Chain A
Amino acid sequence: MRILVIEDSAPMRNSICRGLVREGFAVDTAEDGEAGLSLARNNPYDVLVLDLMLPLLDGHAVLAGLNNRASRPHVLMLTAKDGIQDRVQGLNEGADDYLVKPFAFAELVARVRALVRRRYGEHNSVLAVGPLEIEPTSRRALLDGKLLDLSVREFALLEYLVTRCGETVTREEIEDHIYGVDRLPLSNAVDSTICILRAKLGPSGKDLIRTRRGLGYVFAQAV
């Protein structure tokens, strides 16, 4: 999943970025509202982690700039203001969730995951499709109850395909959501990862992850 972190404090921005990458997200960052809004408008992010107090353009203005867009990412607002009025204002302006500083990093990750699930219409914290179970919180994938040994990138790709279960996902979409803007992969990195995933899924791997020639890949609903 692709996350954009807009935060002007360098220590906060860098730490959040590193932490979310470690959790398997593809993360881009911006240090002011203008740069952040530009990135958000031009890239398909799943979640925006948006600080309220930003230079050049504050969080409220960024939200306003994203409204009325068709594929608007979910927004998690970060702020040091904990007043009810501030929370209500943020939510009314389009934020999907609100986190008051200082916060536990684990809570940030949990809220981001919840927003990702909401974005794809999921209500459960465990994604189950046929014999496969994905536990995003613990970064575990189980096939017929057996734990799969997956790298961070492999898990992220499998998770993305499962959340888009039944839909054809193009290579470009996979690149956008799994890799950050600064980490453009080699042209066949997606295909290589798909191959590795199929191998680790075993005999049913090819049936679970199907190729749509010329279009992309689809995670089948049933084997």
Chain B
Amino acid sequence: METKLPRPSTAKSIRSVLLSRLLVSTALVLLLAGLVVYFVVRRSLARQFDVNLQDRLQGLASLLFQEGDRLLFEFSDELMPEYARASEPDFFELRFEDGRPIERSDSLGGDNLIPPDMGTDAAFYWSLQLPGGRSGRALASVVEVHHLYPEEGPDRPQAARVLIVVARGVEERIAAEHTVLLSCLASAGVLLIILGVLTLRTVSHALAPANHLAQVLRSMDVNHLPQKLDFGPLPVELMPIAETTEELVRRLDGALQRERRTTANIAHELRTPISELVTVSEVALHEDEDPDAQREAIGTIRAVAWRMGRMVSSLLKLARLESEGLSANREQVDLAELVRAVHQGLVLARDGEGPQVVFELEGAEFPAATVDADPDALSIVVTNLLENAMHYSCSACAVTVGLEFDGEGAQLRIQNRAEGLDAKDLDRFSEPFWRKDRARSDQDHSGLGLSLARVLAERCGWSIDFALEQGLVSVTLGIPSA
């Protein structure tokens, strides 16, 4: 049954994040561009409008003439019909500089076109409310009137200066601005849609390898992990994920297989003493007439039960070490002295039997032959390593114990000769219950010693390395300097 992890509400999709951010960014850019275009066009329209006003003013000025003392204004509605049309007319007004009116367009009616204070400006633009309530813009300028007959002599009167004001409604300009604005918005919208579609396709295409990677992982059978995952061609950015995932799967598979082997070995190892208890007791139950046989059977049952108890204790110890932390009581430990003491204890337990142990302890020659370690943990590790070597060493061979110190720490090396091993067995040395000879654990050896030593050493930050050379097995315990 597929188990899905609960997804937090804050979980986001790369696709949606990319799409939303790209679209928002694109929309902002298009909006900004549209506004820039709009304001540029708007300004251009305003300038064009003012230029048009200027042209109209010049046009009116060109109709002004001076003949002697008389001022002539050759205006007619036919000539400039924009001032006379019924709908949205333009306006003009002419005044002398002193304010005396000269002429005005009929469209003005009773209103005046009086500019605000012009100051010293030759031309002055301003926005105003036109007659009829229309919004408009006006231009006021003082012009010198041309003499009709410029060849008149120096006695001719001075050229009159006339204030001309022209005004137009800005409806067309406003309408044009609105059109530009709508066009910009519409264009931005269409562009946004097109870019959105393109972005969606691009993002989908870019994320396809990630989807494929997820699909490969989703289709993996967690009960039968593959040795190699086929991700197909992947982009450079995803390759570290694929490589790391493959490595993790491989290591996980190895760990699961080791766990399965350990579980099977534990079941097998426990079944064996249980079988012994069942068979011995069942046979003994029918030996009423042989008290000696029954007594012997009871003794056997007791011994097997104790052996089971030791095995279970070792298993529990191993499980505790693997799952819990180790509270270390560190102190300075004379490693050479500890190894000798462990050896003496093992010899005593074996009633003096077992292979000879040769010590090559150089530590005694060094002034600082101590290590900073938990003495109990160190004793357990050394005991298991040495006991294992003594158990599996051939009876006529010696077990060699070497000790070296350098600036980086201490190296305890235990060597024994054991036939029948090859290099690929080294990886399984510390596996619970593993032994080269596949027979069950014997009466005195649970098969957990090296496993316990390995786990305990790892907890204490020590190293255990196995080596095999020409039938000689070496186990090296490395204890770094504090």
User: Could you tell me which A residues sit within 8 Å of B by CB distance?
Assistant: 8-12, 14-16, 18-19, 22, 32, 53-56, 58, 80-81, 101-106, 108
Contacts and interface: CB of A to CB of B under 8 A. Distances in A.
Given A9-B440, A11-B279, A11-B304, A102 B271 contact: yes
Interface string B249-284: 000000000000000100110011011111110111
Shortest 10 CB-CB contacts between residues of A and residues of B: A101-B275, A80-B271, A102-B275, A105-B282, A55-B439, A19-B283, A102-B278, A15-B283, A11-B276, A80-B268
Interface of B: 264, 267-268, 271-272, 274-280, 282-284, 286-287, 293, 297, 300, 303-304, 437-440, 443
B439 A18 contact: no
Contacts of A10: 443
21 contacts: A8-B439, A9-B440, A10-B443, A11-B276, A12-B275, A14-B300, A15-B276, A15-B284, A18-B283, A19-B283, A53-B268, A55-B437, A55-B439, A58-B438, A80-B271, A81-B268, A101-B275, A102-B275, A102-B279, A105-B278, A106-B282
A53 B440 contact: yes
A32 B440 CA distance: 12
B272 A103 contact: no
Nearest to B304: A11
Contacts of A101: 271-272, 274-275
A53 B439 contact: yes
A51 to B, nearest CB: 9
Contacts of A102: 271, 274-275, 277-279
A105 B271 contact: no
Given A11-B300, A81-B268, A105 B279 contact: yes
User: Looking at B264, B276, B279, B284, which has the most chain A CB atoms within 10 Å of its CB?
Assistant: B279
A58 B439 CA distance: 8
B279 A53 contact: no
Contact of B280 (A11, A53, A56, A58): A11
A54 B282 contact: no
A103 B293 contact: no
A130 B276 CA distance: 43
Contact of A54 (B280, B287, B439): B439
B276 A104 contact: no
A80 B267 contact: yes
Contacts of A104: 278, 282
Contacts, number: 78
Contacts of A18: 283, 287, 293
A36 to B, nearest CB: 12
Given A55-B439, A102-B271, A15 B297 contact: yes
B281 to A, nearest CB: 9
Contact of A103 (B264, B267, B275): B275
A19 B286 contact: yes
In this complex, which of A9, A10, A16 has the most chain B Cβ atoms within 10 angstroms of its Cβ?
A9
A174 to B, nearest CB: 26
A9 B269 CA distance: 12
Nearest to A9: B276
Contacts of A19: 279, 282-283, 286
A43 B294 CA distance: 31
B272 A80 contact: yes
A119 B282 CA distance: 27
Given A11-B303, A15-B282, A15-B297, 4 more contacts: A19-B279, A53-B440, A81-B264, A108-B279
Chain A CB within 10 Å — which of B283, B287, B303 has the most?
Answer: B283
B225 to A, nearest CB: 19
Nearest to A99: B275
A22 B439 CA distance: 28
B296 to A, nearest CB: 8
A193 B279 CA distance: 32
Contacts of A105: 278-279, 282-283
A17 to B, nearest CB: 9
Contacts of B279: 11-12, 15-16, 19, 102-103, 105, 108
Contacts of B277: 102
A141 B283 CA distance: 24
Nearest to B277: A102
A103 B272 CA distance: 11
A74 B62 CA distance: 137
Nearest to A17: B283
B292 to A, nearest CB: 12
A183 B300 CA distance: 25
Nearest to B439: A55
A22 B282 CA distance: 12
Contacts of B268: 53, 80-81
B52 to A, nearest CB: 100
